[in-house]
Structure formats: structure tokens, C-alpha cells
Structure 1
């Protein structure tokens, strides 16, 4: 009797460095995600490790905004920029250099010596300049006029970082917080630009028959109001700042309602983005009230923006981007859904910690555990995909990106 022919199976591709450095999101998403978990672990459970020139709350604020959130934004814009322009802005050795600069900055800011701080600051600012230059080259080579402003936004984010680090070096805490607010609003402008583009695009592709506006006109007004808010923050014009923030928040609400949130309630990969966009609007409104002196604690609007807005959007965009660009079906498994739930739990627990003085430490620790758990799940699920080429079989058709 003859042996049956063996079944043909598709072998899993082997890890490849060229694949890992093929697009910006592949190394930057895992790096930023790992640091998001590690830095919160340090801040909550081992704060003595952050005792350098940039120490205590100043280190925590900086690493969350520029070490994590801004890094993830750069990773996304590098990937989206390739789709928008047909040119991969950064890959291979250039991308490896950017990642090395980013890693040197993370280590340097933990060093106790002033020299470590200087090296870290120089590395980080070079990272943002390199990212802005790569994006600028891609959009100008492609004559992609619609995105000419994006490299300048990344450069502004890096400039705010430089001003923040200068204030830290000088030991001026009030100036430090003013410049942190400027950086926070720069990041909010970038986040709103991204969500305004991707939410309606993703939703209309995923929900059959759904027609919602892209809000290009309101997005231009929103961008202008957000840019003015950054300027008014630096000038300390509080009433004008509150007005600009309120206008930006109002446009968030208009956009959200026009995007028919109930239509995506059964699709977690979409509604997580709606939640993040809503929290951006709420956070900006709270910031306006804080600017008028109606809310005393700045930590409230900062954490609504940073966790409910930026971080919720990040976990949603990381899963969507990774699945789409790695040739996988846009379907969430239980691990990805658990990641969403843990991030939302971290957000709620952090707000509870701000509201309840008696249980604040317990709630803060639980929020940290949920936060770390969310990013650990993402790393476990997606890093094995990031280090391998896109499978030849299965998943959506690949989009060819020109490399230059």
C-alpha cells in the first residue's frame, strides 16, 4: 500500500532583520510599547531609578509624552506617510539609526550624571529632526501638498521637547510645566489630524453602507485653533488659550457626532478609536477650564488627554496598523480585545486615583498593573509578526511602496 502524499502547508516565515527594519512601525511600535510598560513600572514601583538631571515627575512627564506617545506618533506617520506618498520615508540603516538614537535617549535620561543628560537630549532631538526630515523628503518628492504640514508638526514636537529639556537643565519648574503643556498640545494637534483622517476612512471601509463626512474643512479650522493654543500657551495668554482650546474641543464633538458612533458599536477595532477621539475633545475642554482657573488640578486634563486620548488611540491604531500592513485579516482576537479592556481599565483607575485621596495609592497601583498588562499583551501578540516578512499566502493584498 502506497503512503499518502503529505499535505502541503504554508511555513511560517523566519525572522529577518530586513523585514524588521522595513517600515517605521515595525521597530518603533515594539520599542515604544516596551518603554510605556517599563517606564510606568519604574515610576510606580521603583522611582529611585529616575534620579538624574531629569528626575521625579519631570522624568515621568517627559518619558510619557516624548519617550512613548511621540515615538508612537512618529512610527505611525512613517507608515502612513508611505501610503500617502508612495515613498517609504525611513527604512533599513536610517531607521536603525533612529531607533539607536531613541534608545540612547531612554538610557541617558536615567543616568545620574549631567553628561548622560546632555547625550540623551542630543540623541532625542536628533531623532525628531531625522524623522521630520525623512517625512519632509517623502512628501516633497511626491509633491504631496496635502501633507506638507506634517513634517513641521513633528519638528514642532521636537522643538517643544528641546524647550522642555532646557527648562529641566536650568531647574525652572514653572517654565518646565509651561513647556510640557505646549508639547502636550502639539501632540494633541497631531493626534486630531490623524484621527480625522483615519476614523471615517476605516469606518466606511468596515461598515457596509456607512457614509460619513471626512470633515476636511472643520479639520483645517481645528488645526489652526490647536496651533494657536500652542502659541498662547507659550505666551501665557490664558483667556485666548481657553478660547482656542474650547473651539478645538467643540469641533471634536461635532466630528464625533457626524461619524455616527452607534454604527460601529459592535466593532471594537473601530469604537476604540471613537473613544480616543472623544477623550481628546473632553481633555481639551478640561484644559480650557483649567486655563480659566475653574479647575485647579492640571493632572486631570493631562491624564484624560494622555491616557484616555493618546494611549487609547495608540492601542487601537497599533493593532489596526499591524494587522493591515502585515497582511493579516482585520479581525481582533481575544488577546487584542483584552489589551483594549486593560487600557480602558487603566484610564478609569487613574481617574479614580485622582478623585479619591484615601484609596489613591491602591488605585494608582492597579492602574499601573492594567497599563503594563495591556502593553505586555500587545508585545506578546504582535512582535512575532513584526520581525517576519509578510506571509506570501493569506491576508489582504499587499500595497507596493516605492523605496528611495
Structure 2
């Protein structure tokens, strides 16, 4: 096949398997809803899931390593062909990767009935296979600059393995090294990849409008310094999560990334929420760093879990939702603009983040704030599935067989 479009036309199976973003973005959206729909009654004790993980650890694992791994797979399987100039993974090979991801969710959910090693092997199968696929494509395309992305994927997979080990040995994995390392990998993915796409997409939109001052191009000296500072601060936090050194390092990293974000002209993007949401999502990176720094330097300010949710639900949740909506529109031939429904899902998720953090600030109001956070999350990702699911399940007219 000489082009991606020809390869897609030649595929006679489900449209869902014509491009990496389709099965994994849809799966991520559905799973995000199911995680929260199960978690709310689990939190109140009304539901028990047959998992060997304690409820909080299951919730944390399935959001970070379940949901995020699907989004990462969908993004990389779609972006890497553009980076390397090679054809995407299509058809049953893509379906096999998606099936491995589903198997991992089932294995973790039923882990009370399975040996821990079996659960870990099944859950790690998809990210390991994805790593080999991405490595092959990068090497074959000689796209060496994106080896850093492969490195972050490897760190994320290692963190998942560590999480399984901690859970199997009886540790409270929700506050363990595996979770923190996985969160570090996720935040660094946003800082590195988001640091490329946010100013680039902003620049493209402003140029199209003929609108004044443009954002500073990505990966200038300040960007590189901010990334190195964030990486150092995050690694210190993984090892010494409550030490003042970690708090001070995260404080500096938060300030550096706030300055980085300020150079991307986000204040000019209000008329197009599809662009503006990228800036809001990235803002949760420095906000999370500053919040965890504050909680480290002044414990019990609003709780470590609430501070971490600024990264988990805010930075990761909103940035992945923003990327999934934009990529789906772009790759299905739709106008790159956010309709009222898309704006609604963004706002619902922001409300969820604010409510979750508020539950830490006002513990006496935590019950109803947790409920608002859960409903906001379900509304945001449920809205994504309803609005974007049909686009993910069918091909554009010019990509259909015979057209």
C-alpha cells in the first residue's frame, strides 16, 4: 500500500480497526465512565469488585494504568506514523493490541480469583507489546528524536509492574512507589508532548485568524530547563514524597512551568475552546506541582490525595480528553472547532476536578463534593462517548471501501 488512505480502504473489517485512535480512544472513554460508575458505590461500601487490590488502589490503578494506557496507545499509534512516515497499524494487529488492553482490565477486575503473577502478566502485555511496536517504527523510520517518548512509555510500564508487585506483597499500592512513578511518567508525557502541541496548535490557529502576537516556539532554552527541573523534582518526589527537598523542588518546577505556559499566548485563544482547553489542561501541571509542594511543606493543608488529583484528574484527565476530541475531529475529516457539546464535556471535567480538590479542602463537605466530582467525570467522558463514539465507529466517506 502506498498511502494510509489506501490501506484503510483496503481493510474490509470493522471501521474501528482502521487507525489506532479509534479503538483505544473509544475504549478509554467507555472505561473512564465505568471506573467512576463503579467507584462511587464502592466508596460508600454499596458495591464490592472481586479484585485483590484494595478499593482505593483499584481505583487509582485503573485510572492511571488502565485509562491512561489506552489513551497513550491511541495517541502513539496515530502519531508515530506521522513522525516516521511509515504506515499505521491496521486491522487484526490493531485489534489484537486492543484485546490485550481489555484482557488487562478484566484480569485486574477479577484478580481475587487469579494468581498475582498471571494478573500482572496479562495487564502488562499490551504496554509491552505497544513498546515493541513503537520501538520498531522509530528504528525503521530513523526517528531518533522521539526515543524520549519510548523512554517515558518504558517508565510508565515499569511503574505498572511495580504497582502490581507492591499490591501482591501487601503494601498499600495507592500510595506506593509504583503509583508515584506512573504519575511522574504521565505528567512528563504531558510536559514533553503537550509542550510541543499546545504552542504549535495555538500558533496554527492564530495564524489562520491573522491574529497578532504568536506563541513562543516550543523547546527553547526555558522549555528545556523547565523540563529538566520538573524531571528532577518529580524523581525526588517519587523517592522522598514528604521531604521538604521534594516540596522545594516542586515549587521551583511549578513556577518554571507557569512561566513556560505564559509564553504560549493562551489568553488569546478564548474564541476557540478546542485550543483554549489545551492551555487550561496544561495549567494543571504547574498547579499540581505547586499544590503538592504546599502540602509537602505545610502538611494537611488540603490532603495529599486532593493535591495529586490536580495532576491525575486535572492535567491527565483534561489533557487526554482535549487530545482525544481534537484528534478524533482531525482524523475523521471534521472541522477543528468545539461545538456546544464538546464545550460541555470540558466544563464537566473541570467541575469534577474542582469538586475533588474541594473535598480535600473542606472535609466536612466531602461526601457531596465526591458525588459532584463523580458525576462531573461521568458526564464529561460519557459525553465524549456519545458525541465522538459515532465518529470513531465509522469511516469518513472518502475512506470507505470502493470510494
- Shorter-chain TM band: 0.7 to 0.9
**Alignment-derived partner of residue 371 in structure 1:** 377
Preserved contact between residue 155 and residue 181 of structure 2 (Cα < 8 Å) = no
Preserved contact between residue 196 and residue 214 of structure 1 (Cα < 8 Å) = no
**Compared CA separation, residues 354 and 228, structure 1 to 2 (3 A):** same
Aligned: 1:273 with 2:269: no
Aligned: 1:215 with 2:218: yes
**Compared CA separation, residues 178 and 326, structure 1 to 2 (3 A):** same
**Alignment-derived partner of residue 94 in structure 1:** 93
Aligned: 1:53 with 2:52: yes
**Alignment-derived partner of residue 232 in structure 1:** 236
**Alignment-derived partner of residue 329 in structure 2:** 323
Tell me how far 1:358 sits from its aligned partner: 2.7
**Compared CA separation, residues 247 and 87, structure 1 to 2 (3 A):** farther
Preserved contact between residue 124 and residue 157 of structure 2 (Cα < 8 Å) = yes
Tell me how far 1:218 sits from its aligned partner: 3.2
Segment of structure 1 superposing worse, 49-58 or 232-241: 232-241
**Alignment-derived partner of residue 18 in structure 2:** 22
**Compared CA separation, residues 42 and 257, structure 1 to 2 (3 A):** same
Aligned: 1:361 with 2:367: yes
Aligned: 1:251 with 2:247: no
Segment of structure 1 superposing worse, 35-44 or 236-245: 236-245
**Alignment-derived partner of residue 283 in structure 1:** 288
SS in 2 for 1:211: coil
2:393 to 387, 391, 397: 387
Q: C-alpha root-mean-square deviation of aligned residues, in Å?
A: 2.3
Tell me how far 1:230 sits from its aligned partner: 4.5
**Compared CA separation, residues 129 and 226, structure 1 to 2 (3 A):** farther
1:312 to 299, 314, 318: 318
**Compared CA separation, residues 299 and 35, structure 1 to 2 (3 A):** same
**Compared CA separation, residues 373 and 116, structure 1 to 2 (3 A):** farther
**Alignment-derived partner of residue 118 in structure 2:** 119
How far apart are the structure 2 equivalents of 1:166 and 1:176?
A: 13
How far apart are the structure 1 equivalents of 2:245 and 2:77?
A: 33
Deviations 1:207-261 (A, max 9, x none): 2344212331333333333433443344438344334433432231112111122
**Alignment-derived partner of residue 348 in structure 1:** 354
**Alignment-derived partner of residue 150 in structure 2:** 151
Deviations 1:71-95 (A, max 9, x none): 2123212222222222245332222
Segment of structure 1 superposing worse, 30-39 or 135-144: 135-144
Tell me how far 1:16 sits from its aligned partner: 6.5
**Alignment-derived partner of residue 128 in structure 1:** 127
Q: TM-score, normalised by structure 1?
A: 0.87
How far apart are the structure 1 equivalents of 2:105 and 2:115?
A: 10
How far apart are the structure 2 equivalents of 1:252 and 1:36?
A: 28
**Alignment-derived partner of residue 140 in structure 2:** 141
SS in 1 for 2:109: coil
Write the mapping of 1:388-403 to structure 2, written as runs, cut at 5 A: 388-392=394-398
Aligned: 1:298 with 2:304: yes
How far apart are the structure 1 equivalents of 2:364 and 2:328?
A: 41
Runs (4+) of structure 1 moved beyond 6 Å? Answer: none
How far apart are the structure 2 equivalents of 1:16 and 1:241?
A: 53
**Compared CA separation, residues 221 and 92, structure 1 to 2 (3 A):** farther
Preserved contact between residue 132 and residue 152 of structure 1 (Cα < 8 Å) = no
Tell me how far 1:361 sits from its aligned partner: 0.9
In structure 1, stretches of 5+ residues that fail to align are 1-12, 394-404
